[in-house]
Every structure is written in C-alpha cells, then in structure tokens.
Amino acid sequence: MLNGIKIAQENENRKIWRREWRYQKLGRENDFSIPFEYKTTVWPDIEMFDVEEKDFRFKTEGYEVCLVLDVGMNHAIYIRTLGISLIWDAFQNKLHLNDQETYLHHQNGVIQLKITRKGTECRVQGGERELNIYDSGQYDLNVQIDTKCGNAGAFESENNGMLVWMEVCGIHTADEYKEEIISEETRRELVCKDKLFFKNDHYSIYYNHLEDEMYGKPDAYVISPEHIISAQRVTEEFQWRHNPMGDMTRVLNRGSEWKRESSREEFRISTGIPAVDAAFQIAMDVLDKAKSPQYAFEGEQGMWSAGAFQGTGMGFGVWCRDTMQMLLRGIGFIDPKVTRRTVEYILKSGKDNAVDGLAAAVISVWEYYLVSHDRELLLKNADTIKAKIQQCEKVFNEEKGLVYAAFCSSNDAYEDTEAGGYALSTEIYFMYAFECAFNILKCLGEPAEHYKFLAVQMLKMIRNKYWNPTAGIFTSGPNGSVAFKDEVWETAGEEGAVWNIWGIASEEQKNLIMDNLEHKIITPYGIPLMPGHLEKTHLARSVWTVYTTGYAVAAAELRKEELLVTLIAQQIRNAVFNKTFYEVYNADDGRAWRWPAQTWNAIGYISLLLSGVFGLKKDIEGIWFEGFIPTVLSGIRIFNLRYVNMCLDVSSEGEGKIVKMTLDGVEVKKIFWNLQGHHKVKLICRKED
C-alpha cells in the first residue's frame, strides 16, 4: 500500500498470497496476468514469472484486486477482471458495472478501486456506494485495463495514464474445513472432549483446539501432537517489500494439514496435553528442516541452518549469532553431532551479521563443551579459538570497562543510538565471552586469568552503570546515555540481566524488572523488542520469541506461575496456528510474518520447558534441575536428553518447586558428566506456602 493512499483492508487474515505491480505506463490496451510461479535465483532472491492458468499452483477460492490508477487525460478507463467489466467515465466521475453506477471522483487524477470475488459474488468498492453482482462464477485470471482518449488534438495524447499500484491477492472464503480435511464428526468430537489449558481476552488454547480473535475462523484443531489442521494464517509474498528492512513473508506448510513422524529414539518433551505437545513437535519439525540437506548451503550440510528462508534450495545458512543463541537455549542436548559441526564451522565461516559475532563464536565453543566435554574440538581448533578470543579483546575499552557496541544484539540493521555506543545486550554477551575464554584457556592449559579479570570488570560495570533505580530496570544504555535518562527497555538486554546463568540482577532487581515486564511491556502476544521506539519494523515493537527464555527462567525462579504459563501459551498459539515458528510476530495483534521455520525460535520454545519449567542447569561438573512445574503441566516428562555419553529420561512428580532429584532411585544433587548409558531421573516437586 502506498503512503497516503487508503483502501479498506477487509479480510486481511483470509489472504493466502499477494502479488503487486507498480508504476507502469498505460497504453490503449494493458493486460496483466494473475497466474504466476517462482524460482530461487542468487541468495537471497527469488523471481516471479507468469504461467498459463492450467499450470497455476496457487489457485484459491476467491481473489481480491486493489487498484490505484493515475487516469491522466483519458476520457474513460475500462477494467475487465474476475468476470466483470467496469467503465469509469472521467467526464461524469461515474463508475459503471452493468446497469449499476456510483460516483467515483478522482483526487488529482488518481482513482482507487477494490474488486473482490468470492464464488458467484463480486463486489466493487471505492465509489460512494458498493456495487455487487452475482453470476455463474466463471472467470479468467487476468486484469485488463484499457484507456480511451478524446479528440482535443494537441491537448491530449495517448499513453498518458499510469498504473500507480496494483495488488492481487488469493483469498480463502470458508469458515470451516472441507470434509476431506477434517470431518464434522471428528471436529465435534475434538471440541466436545476438550479441556481448557489457557485463555485470555484474545485467544483460547484447549487441549485439542485453539480459537483466536485475530486469526478468526476456522479454528485450529490438534488431532494428535503430530497431526494438526489449521488454515494458512499469513499472506505469502514473493516480492520484497518496499522498505530498507529486507522484508518478505514466505510459507512452507501450504494448505491446512500438517503431519510429522516422530521417533521414540529422539529427544522429546511430553505433557500429555495435545496442544502443548503439538507445539513441541512443530519445534522438532523446524529442527528437522534446519539440519536437512534440502535447505543447506554448499559446504554446510549436517549443520544447524538459521531457518528455511525461501524454501528448498535456499535456506538461511549458518549464522554465528543464531548458533550462539541456539546453544544458550539447549540445542546441544538434542543433537550433539550436528551441533559440533556447526560450532566448528562458525569458528572459520558462517554469516556474521552483528556486532556480537566475535563473542558468539567463543560462547558457542564453551556452551558446546559443557554439554559434550569434547576436548578434541578444543585441541583441534585451539589456534582459531585463541584468535577469536584476542579479537574480542580488541574491542574492549579499558577506560570504560566495556566493549564498544553501537548495535544491540537483536538489531543488526541500525544502531541503537540511545545506548550511546554501549548497548546492554551486547555488553552482556561479551562479558560472558570473556568468562568462556577463561574456561576454554584453562582447559587448554593456557594463561587465562586476564580474561576472568575482564569478565569480572564488565559484570561490575553492567551492574553499576546500567541499573536505573527510578525505572526499576537495566536500561539499554549506561548512565549518561539517552537510554538511561529516558528509561529505555531493550528486551534482549533485559533478558540477559534477569537470566540467572549470568548473575547480573539481584533478587530484588529481578522482582522489579519482572513487575515492569508484566505491567508495562508484555502484550497478550509476547515481549516486544525495543518497545519504546516510534518506528514499527521487524526489529522494533515486534516479538522475537527467542528472547523469552531468560524471562521464563526468572518467572520460575520467582514462582510467578501465571506468567510462566502465559509465556508458554503465547508460543503454543504461534506454533499451532501457523504450523511452524515464524521469525516475527506483531506485538499488537499477534500476526506472524517474515520467515518460516526459524530455528532459534523453535529451540526458544523448547527452552521455555527445558530451562524454564525444568530449570535445567549445567557447569563443568555436570547438570541438575531447579525449576518450577506449574499445576497445568504436572507430570511433564523428558525423554532421551543427551548429555556427554549418557541419555536421560526425566519424570516429575507433583507441582511447584523442584525440591529433590533422584538418579536411578538414588537422591543426588548433580548428575556428573562422566556417567554413561541410559538412566532414569525423577524430580519431586512441592509448592511452598
């Protein structure tokens, strides 16, 4: 939609795909074919091209055509599309459809129309009143725009009009699914036996189906955790949006039905609640795609791709920052071999799009080592690892005790100017990178104390310079910055501050931050990045669910049970309705967009259960659990958790705080890394008064 031009946008959530044309000179006869196909070209681009109607894969139940025309000096405009013929008379400013007419005045020579076809009905909007016809419902898929000039000689010429903008969308029209997709009997049975898992003013999650105010009908149905029926909820795009952000929304799971074949040998978290377990299965489906050769770049097979991006043949590739975030959120426990290849790769290559890319490589090495004790990787890559560590030190500012970081970790597009060159989230990751460097060098028998000193110094500076007692948060920039003065919240940085793996916020500070989160920041759909910014992009005032883990851990730690369940429910909604994990969700209405099968968002959901609910912790000696089991998730279990040379099945008993852990029936405080084989872990939980 062009700036300053408004056309009513009804049925936005029923649009399946969109195609657009801009700024095309109009001659006497102008034909625009609707049927198209696309192909991948050179990363990151795809190309659309016209096809015959018989070869069109994207046919839909209905179509919508929106037009903005500069009529120039033409006397009449003739529009034929979707089975109707319209005439706009420039002298009388009237739009004619058969025997119907309406006044349609131009504005500086520009007219706007919307034509919607649903079966046998066609509606035309744009004039003073709506025009409607009912016919056989037979029509060709094209838009014909013809122009007619008068006879005023030199005062008029042909080819003086212009198609300013035209968008054609395929739409679905049904409020329920066809019988062959899900029978009415099955649908009624699922609804009848349902229990409510979660409900707010905007959506409801039942055990076997989900309802949503924004997405509307039809509802989503969970036949089983591996079988979901949900209509397409996003509008697929095949052309870049006209902005500097590299925006496009793609779809992998076209159609309404999604299935996955799971394996009893793979990592699994089970609650016995179909909707909750379905979201987990969708996350695993995303991870399947992330390591699939179908989506891998040459030389990156068998690694964690950042996402499926444009689909088969053009995945996202391996990214340094994404790899770090995946490891922090537990991907090393799921497939250690794929994780090892990915970590080794980003030491030498991979897309490094953010200022924290140097820190990402060092952190990834140590996070992988903690779940694998793979000393061979450290020895084999020792020189490269040490070079990365030295590069991290080069950006350290000794005078300030911080690293120069113009960008916050979640924003790779433009500087976080209010932070004054020292963005909180990036400072936290570099602080941890120096801690990781200390541990790695100790394992290699190299001098290491200097990096421990840097980590301690940065921790001290973050605690002292970023905590704003008036705001009750760690601001996105230090004392003296605009961010500190204006009390600016930045979600990736605040997550790092409350996440207990880094020990930044005190318990009192965590309580204040989490109260701010609940009452000022979070929306019904998630935690927006940079919520105070005026611009609304995929980076500002939008939700990236990967940055939810630390808040879930803090909610469990502080016994904020309702908040913990809300954070989980928000992502169940995202996953089940869309049958994948999208990159971006609108904070105001929860609509998904941009890239599907986003790996870090998938592992982000798993981490809410693994790190939040179970409270899985790790250090150089071993692992343990110190989480909080909400009442609605009592009985939650883990199967095939891979840790070094062991495989663990974890069950829970009761609800509330985990107060006791047994390993094969024997009470333990920690499961040490040198254990081997398959073992049973039991967690005993109790709610405190």
11 pLDDT band, cuts 50/70/90, is: low
Q: Which region holds residue 640: left if phi is over 0, alpha if psi is between -120 and 50, else beta?
A: left
The residue whose two tokens read 């209010």 is 418
Confidence (pLDDT) at 7 = 42
158 pLDDT band, cuts 50/70/90, is: low
Q: What is the mean pLDDT of residues 154-165?
A: 74
Confidence (pLDDT) at 6 = 42
Q: What is the mean pLDDT of residues 509-536?
A: 94
pLDDT(172) > 60: yes
Q: How many CB atoms lie within 10 A of CB 653?
A: 15
SS (H, E, C) 525-582: CECECCCCCCCCCCCCCEECHHHHHHHHHHHHHCCCHHHHHHHHHHHHHHHHHHCCCC
Q: How many CB atoms lie within 10 A of CB 61?
A: 14
Contact in structure between 19 and 66 (CB atoms under 8 Å): no
Least confident residue range of 155-169, 363-377, 607-621 = 155-169
Confidence (pLDDT) at 410 = 85
Find how far residue 337's CA is from the centre of its chain: 25
Q: What is the mean pLDDT of residues 385-399?
A: 95
Equal fold, 12-171 vs 320-466: no
Domain 320-466 fold is Glycosyltransferase (1.50.10)
Least confident residue range of 248-252, 409-413, 500-504, 575-579 = 409-413
Confidence (pLDDT) at 562 = 98
Read off the tokens for 195.
């229990």
Class of domain 614-689: mainly beta
pLDDT(69) > 70: yes
Rounded Cα–Cα distance for residues 207 and 293 (Å): 34
Confidence (pLDDT) at 377 = 98
Q: What is the identity of the amino acid at 326?
A: M
Q: What is the mean pLDDT of residues 633-642?
A: 97
Confidence (pLDDT) at 194 = 85
Confidence (pLDDT) at 156 = 55
pLDDT(8) > 60: no
- Tens-digit pLDDT profile for residues 272-317: 999 999 999 999 999 999 999 999 999 999 999 999 999 888 889 9
Rounded Cα–Cα distance for residues 47 and 56 (Å): 15
Q: How many CA atoms lie within 13 A of 426 on its CB side?
A: 28
pLDDT(9) > 70: no
Confidence (pLDDT) at 137 = 87
Least confident residue range of 100-104, 415-419, 600-604 = 415-419
- Tens-digit pLDDT profile for residues 481-493: 999 999 999 999 9
Largest CA distance in the chain: 99
pLDDT(5) > 60: no
Q: How many CB atoms lie within 10 A of CB 185?
A: 9
Rounded Cα–Cα distance for residues 568 and 576 (Å): 12
H-type helices in 156-255, by residue range?
184-192
- pLDDT above 70 coverage of the chain, percent: 97
Confidence (pLDDT) at 476 = 96
- Tens-digit pLDDT profile for residues 212-258: 999 999 999 999 999 999 999 999 999 999 998 889 999 998 999 99
The residue whose two tokens read 């009997």 is 185
- Tens-digit pLDDT profile for residues 227-240: 999 999 999 999 99
> How high does pLDDT run on average in the chain?
93
- Tens-digit pLDDT profile for residues 640-671: 999 999 999 999 999 999 999 999 999 999 99
Rounded Cα–Cα distance for residues 662 and 647 (Å): 15
Confidence (pLDDT) at 157 = 58
Q: Which region holds residue 62: left if phi is over 0, alpha if psi is between -120 and 50, else beta?
A: beta
pLDDT(23) > 90: yes
Domain ranges of the chain: 12-171, 320-466, 614-689
pLDDT(10) > 50: no
Confidence (pLDDT) at 155 = 52
- Tens-digit pLDDT profile for residues 31-52: 999 999 999 999 999 999 999 9
Please state the CATH superfamily assignment of the domain spanning residues 12-171 in this structure: Exo-inulinase; domain 1 (2.60.120.560)
Rounded Cα–Cα distance for residues 171 and 59 (Å): 9
Q: Which region holds residue 625: left if phi is over 0, alpha if psi is between -120 and 50, else beta?
A: beta
Q: How many CA atoms lie within 13 A of 601 on its CB side?
A: 27
pLDDT(152) > 80: no
